[in-house]
Amino acid sequence: MTTPPVVLITGTSSGFGRACAEHLAKRGWRVFGTSRRAPEAPAPAAGGYELLRMDVDDDACVQRGVAAVLERAGRIDAVVNNAGIGYAGSVEDTSIEEAKAHLETNFFGAVRVCRAVLPAMRAQGGGTIINISSVAGAIGIPYQAFYSASKFALEGFSEALRLEVRPFGIRVALVEPGDARTGFTANRRRTAASLENPAYREACERALAVMEADERHGFAPERLARTVERILTARAPRLRYVVAPAPEAAALALRKLVPAWLFEWVLEKYYRLT
């Protein structure tokens, strides 16, 4: 290619998304980052990439955003579906509306973007889609049930999508990050009922204290950005890439090796549930 490859990254206002946008821009990619509060038309951002408005919960907004990138760049070589939200609270203390919000952004948001870019990728003969999942997409995390559910859904979706689009030269990969130092910790919201129901309150607060301490001491988001670049430049990317501190990576391997009751006991002790 005589022009820089073009990548669209959702959720670049902070964290993984911003790290990926800035890193790939430095590495010669033409990067379009998205945010719900960005200008409607693409505009230069401080990190060397172009920023445009895209609310992944909104079909029309996603279509407009993709159309704007195609109008300015003429193609989309890669997509990184990173936009996401998180609520904390027990299943009993999570309303259906709060549960749906997880799925709307974390799962259906990625689905919308994939569906919007696939026609262009098929027409140009290829592309790469990277869906940012989570270790919580492989292990159900207590008091994060619907966040886990949204990432579990993204994992199954990506497996199927990878098989469907391979004949068109389109590659699909998942990245499963563990605890990282990002704004996600501060932006995590409590479900409304979890602030009132005493039945789960103490266990929820203990578990969240463990999670938030792990996140504050987690890896820098630039590590994930380097993995994304490695996937984009690979001849044949794998389906899954784990980017996590050693204990979390070990937990993923351990789950396949030990009885379910023993793995559950380890999680109960780790998150101080009992």
Could you confirm whether 13 is annotated as catalytic? yes
Q: Which CATH number fits domain 6-270: 3.30.565.60, 3.30.565.10, 3.40.50.720, 3.40.50.300?
A: 3.40.50.720
pTM: 0.94
Contact between 139 and 249 (Cβ < 8 Å): no
Could you confirm whether 133 is annotated as catalytic? yes
Average pLDDT, integer, range 85-107: 96
Any idea what the Cα angle at residue 264 is, between residues 258 and 265, rounded to 5°? 95
Domain boundaries, the chain: 6-270
Taking only the tens place, the pLDDT of each residue in 110-145 is 999 999 999 999 999 999 999 999 999 999 999 999
Query: What are 9's strand-pairing partners?
Result: 33, 80
From the candidates 35, 90, 133, 150, give the one annotated as an active-site residue.
Answer: 133
Pair of tokens at residue 143 = 């008091």
Query: With 60 as the cut, is the pLDDT of residue 1 above it?
Result: no
Q: Where does the pLDDT of residue 274 fall: very low under 50, low under 70, confident under 90, or very high at 90 and above?
A: confident
Q: Are strands 43-44 and 30-35 parallel, antiparallel or unpaired?
A: unpaired
Q: Write down the pLDDT at residue 39.
A: 79
State the Cα–Cα distance between residues 243 and 249, nearest whole angstrom. Answer: 8
For the residues of 101-143, what is the DSSP string, one character each?
HHIIIIIIHHHHHHHHHHHHHHHHT-EEEEEE--GGGTSPPTT
State the Cα–Cα distance between residues 124 and 127, nearest whole angstrom. Answer: 8
Query: With 80 as the cut, is the pLDDT of residue 100 above it?
Result: yes
From the candidates 49, 87, 143, 147, give the one annotated as an active-site residue.
Answer: 147
Average pLDDT, integer, range 55-73: 97
Could you confirm whether 147 is annotated as catalytic? yes
State the Cα–Cα distance between residues 268 and 7, nearest whole angstrom. Answer: 41
Taking only the tens place, the pLDDT of each residue in 2-45 is 789 999 999 999 999 999 999 999 999 999 999 998 877 788 88
Q: Write down the pLDDT at residue 196.
A: 83
Average pLDDT, integer, range 228-244: 97
- What integer best gives the mean pLDDT of the chain? 95
Taking only the tens place, the pLDDT of each residue in 192-206 is 998 788 999 999 999
Angle, helix 59-73 to helix 109-124, in steps of 10 degrees = 30
* 3-class SS of residue 244: coil
Average pLDDT, integer, range 141-161: 98
